[in-house]
């Protein structure tokens, strides 16, 4: 089942199993039991979340008591397992063999299994931690729609496609964008699949279908829309799943102009956890806005203000968003992070200052990688004092920089999925920069890459960044957005937002579209 955390954020219900091997006992203490505690950011115990049964006299103990948790991709969930020894006569705790700390992200990134060596006074014990994800999350709903008597009000040539979406609280989630069919008023679009757990989570929400006519060199024409629900779709093919299209005003277009469900089948498909099990790793990149609108770093009002004891607004956003992702990177104990900047003058090859919308925070000419979170913080602080803030805001180049590696992954299939976290106080500053950025987002949508843009500064206008979430983005050359790959979130809302939680959904959508053939 889909578990829901108290904050109403979607979570994956997972089951954790514990076991120990090679345990040795004293004669007066021949039983073993494990208690699991949640930890805070400082690795201090918060509360006990589980306790196993007691097993006596066995060097290898496999506990039947499971730990049921809500797995949150966007949160750093750390736990401590303490192994206690007990007296079999009195069933009292005699002491501890040791403890091991683990986090769920690293466990699932290792294929759902962790092995921790724990040294006790008698021997080195092996603590095994295994995670199981219910098959429910691999279930997809295969749907197919057709249209009838669809026409353009302006008499334009028909090139019809539709977008299936859910209007969530913070954003509209694209479930599917169909292919474009030309010169037919009765399109028969291809079948597609959406994760059942996602539909179930938004069970009370409406599912919207917007039908568009592709228009070269202009915004695509909205033909009409209709609304349904999961409950309605589950009734299957028939007249109850035939929907008359409505104009934007709510007026019915024509009684024969409709969209109809033609197929609904439950099938299995790829999951985020299966991708991790198959050794898919995330490649994390950050891009920070250094434009002059952020203020002088030596002034207290600057979003880059350098203070010995308090993080700047940008650093605070970095510290909130990057740690939960580190466990999914290659070599998570010592990961490399791409650290980029934009919107400042930096020293060029000849020594002169040149405006750059994509430069390496570590000062290297082409390789932006730094070692871990500490390396990222150090590179950010060094760049803050070493670059000259300028204008305008344009982060299209950092998107293109990362997407060239995502395009290489589309060809080579090494097993990487790229994440770009963009931190800015405003977004594209003018129409030209906005168009460049739209082109970059659309260009990246067909490749293994997700973009999360964080709006820094509570008194700033972040609407240009939010506008890039539109599902009807179109490239200058006419290409349409293939899938939803861009998410915006205010820095002040990071604690409660589902922005980072959209990454696993986008990963499975990409996998489903380009690299999965159902059996």
Contact indicator for 290, 342 with CB cutoff of 8 Å: yes
Residue 255 has pLDDT above 90, yes or no: no
User: 390, 244, 370, 376: which is closest to 320 by C-alpha?
Assistant: 376
C-alpha–C-alpha distance, residues 441 and 471, integer Å: 11
Provide the pLDDT confidence category of residue 3 given band limits of 50, 70 and 90.
very low
Mean pLDDT of 101-105: 92
Spell out the domains of the chain, with CATH numbers in brackets.
11-133 (2.60.40.150), 138-268 (2.60.40.150), 273-515 (3.40.50.410)
Look up residue 143 and give its two tokens: 């749907």
Per-residue pLDDT reduced to its tens digit, 64-90: 999 999 999 998 999 999 999 998 888
- The answer to whether the Cα torsion of 379, 324, 100, 22 is positive or negative is negative
Q: Is 55 helix (H, G, I), strand (E, B) or coil?
A: strand
* Chain centre distance of CA 301: 32
How does DSSP assign 127-153, residue by residue? Answer: EEEEEE--GGGGEEEEEEEEEES---T
Torsion of CA 140, 162, 466, 11, to 10 degrees: -10
What's the chain's average pLDDT? 91
Look up residue 155 and give its two tokens: 């008499």
How does DSSP assign 301-319, residue by residue? Answer: TSTT---SSS--HHHHHHH
Contact indicator for 456, 421 with CB cutoff of 8 Å: no
Determine which helix (DSSP H) or strand (DSSP E) holds 504, and give its type and residue range.
helix 502-514
Q: Which residues pair with 383 in a beta bridge?
A: none
Provide the pLDDT confidence category of residue 478 given band limits of 50, 70 and 90.
very high
Biggest CA–CA distance in the chain, Å, is 90
Mean pLDDT of 238-264: 91
Cα 179 to Cα 160, 269, 305, 474, 511, distances in angstroms: 8, 20, 48, 14, 17
Q: Is 481 helix (H, G, I), strand (E, B) or coil?
A: coil
Mean pLDDT of 401-405: 97
C-alpha–C-alpha distance, residues 109 and 336, integer Å: 16
Tokens 């039991």 belong to which residue? 33
Provide the pLDDT confidence category of residue 334 given band limits of 50, 70 and 90.
confident
Tell me what pLDDT residue 381 has.
94
Q: What share of the chain in percent tops pLDDT 70?
A: 97
Tell me what pLDDT residue 94 has.
87
Look up residue 341 and give its two tokens: 């900047």
Residue 518 has pLDDT above 70, yes or no: no
Tell me what pLDDT residue 4 has.
35
Tell me what pLDDT residue 436 has.
96
Residue 243 has pLDDT above 90, yes or no: yes
Residue 245 has pLDDT above 60, yes or no: yes
Mean pLDDT of 12-18: 93
CB-count exposure of residue 208 (10 Å: 0-12, 13-18, 19+): middle
Tell how strand 31-39 and strand 61-62 pair up: unpaired
Tell me what pLDDT residue 177 has.
96
Cα 410 to Cα 55, 331, 370, 464, 487, distances in angstroms: 50, 22, 24, 29, 21
Residue 477 has pLDDT above 50, yes or no: yes
Tell me what pLDDT residue 91 has.
83
Residue 446 has pLDDT above 80, yes or no: yes
Cα 150 to Cα 11, 173, 183, 245, 472, distances in angstroms: 40, 25, 11, 9, 19
Tell me what pLDDT residue 7 has.
39
Tell me what pLDDT residue 11 has.
83
Per-residue pLDDT reduced to its tens digit, 40-51: 988 899 999 999
Residue 516 has pLDDT above 80, yes or no: no
Least confident range of 135-144, 148-157, 175-184: 148-157
Tell me what pLDDT residue 201 has.
83
Please enumerate in sequence order all residues whose Cβ is within 8 A of that of 484, keeping only pairs 6 or more positions apart, or say none. 173, 174, 445, 471, 502, 506, 509
Least confident range of 21-25, 104-108, 111-115: 21-25
Per-residue pLDDT reduced to its tens digit, 414-434: 899 999 999 999 888 788 999
C-alpha–C-alpha distance, residues 23 and 29, integer Å: 12
Provide the pLDDT confidence category of residue 471 given band limits of 50, 70 and 90.
very high
Mean pLDDT of 268-294: 93
C-alpha–C-alpha distance, residues 87 and 427, integer Å: 64
Mean pLDDT of 247-254: 86
Cα 519 to Cα 139, 267, 269, 354, 511, distances in angstroms: 13, 9, 9, 54, 15
Provide the pLDDT confidence category of residue 10 given band limits of 50, 70 and 90.
low
Contact indicator for 64, 5 with CB cutoff of 8 Å: no
Per-residue pLDDT reduced to its tens digit, 150-167: 998 888 899 999 999 999
Residue 193 has pLDDT above 90, yes or no: yes
Contact indicator for 277, 415 with CB cutoff of 8 Å: no
Tell me what pLDDT residue 2 has.
36
Q: Is 349 left (phi over 0), alpha (psi -120 to 50) or beta?
A: alpha
Contact indicator for 420, 328 with CB cutoff of 8 Å: no
User: 359, 422, 360, 384: which is closest to 304 by C-alpha?
Assistant: 384
């Amino acid at each position: 089942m889909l578990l829901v955390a108290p904050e109403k954020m979607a979570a994956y219900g997972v089951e954790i199993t514990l076991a120990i091997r090679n345990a040795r006992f004293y004669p007066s203490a021949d039983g073993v039991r494990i208690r699991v505690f949640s930890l805070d950011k400082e690795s201090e115990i918060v509360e006990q979340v589980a306790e196993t049964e007691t097993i006596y006299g066995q060097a290898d103990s496999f506990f039947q008591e499971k730990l049921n948790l809500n797995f949150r991709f966007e949160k750093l969930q750390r736990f401590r397992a303490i192994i206690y020894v007990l007296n079999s006569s009195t069933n009292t705790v005699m002491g501890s063999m040791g403890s091991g700390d683990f986090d769920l992200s690293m466990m699932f990134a290792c294929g759902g299994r962790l092995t921790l060596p724990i040294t006790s006074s008698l021997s080195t014990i092996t603590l095994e931690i295994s995670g199981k994800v219910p098959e429910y999350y691999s279930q997809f709903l295969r749907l197919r729609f057709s249209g009838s008597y669809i026409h353009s009000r302006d008499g334009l040539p028909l090139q019809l496609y539709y977008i299936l979406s859910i209007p969530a609280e913070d954003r509209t989630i694209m479930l599917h964008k169909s292919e474009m069919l030309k010169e037919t008023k009765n399109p028969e679009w291809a079948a597609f699949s959406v994760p059942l757990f996602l539909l179930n989570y938004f069970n009370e929400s409406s599912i919207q279908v917007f039908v568009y006519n592709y228009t070269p060199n202009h915004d695509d024409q909205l033909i009409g829309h209709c609304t349904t629900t999961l409950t309605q779709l589950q009734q299957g093919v028939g007249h109850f799943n035939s929907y008359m299209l409505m104009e934007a005003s709510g007026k019915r277009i024509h009684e024969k102009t409709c969209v109809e469900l033609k197929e609904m089948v439950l099938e299995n498909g790829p999951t985020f956890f299966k991708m991790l099990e198959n050794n898919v790793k995330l490649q994390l990149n950050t891009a920070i806005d250094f434009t002059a609108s952020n203020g002088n770093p030596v002034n207290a009002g600057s979003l880059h203000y350098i203070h010995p004891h308090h993080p700047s607004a940008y650093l605070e956003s970095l510290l909130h968003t990057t740690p939960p992702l580190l466990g999914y990177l290659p070599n998570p104990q010592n990961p490399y992070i791409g650290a980029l900047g934009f919107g400042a003058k930096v020293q060029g090859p000849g020594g002169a200052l040149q405006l750059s919308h994509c430069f390496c925070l570590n000062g290297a000419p082409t390789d932006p990688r730094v070692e871990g979170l500490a390396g990222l913080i150090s590179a950010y602080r060094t760049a803050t004092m070493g670059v000259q803030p300028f204008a305008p805001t344009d982060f299209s180049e950092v998107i293109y920089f990362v997407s060239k590696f995502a395009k290489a992954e589309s060809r080579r299939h090494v097993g990487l999925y790229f994440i770009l976290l963009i931190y800015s106080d405003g977004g594209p500053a003018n129409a030209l920069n906005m168009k460049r950025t739209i082109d970059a987002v659309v260009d990246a949508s067909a490749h293994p890459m997700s973009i999360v843009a964080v709006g820094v500064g509570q008194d700033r206008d972040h609407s240009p960044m939010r506008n890039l979430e539109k599902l009807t983005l179109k490239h200058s050359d006419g290409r349409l957005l293939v899938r939803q790959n861009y998410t915006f979130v205010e820095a002040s809302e990071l604690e409660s937002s589902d922005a980072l939680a959209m990454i696993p959904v986008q990963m499975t959508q990409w996998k489903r579209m380009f690299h999965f053939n159902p059996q």
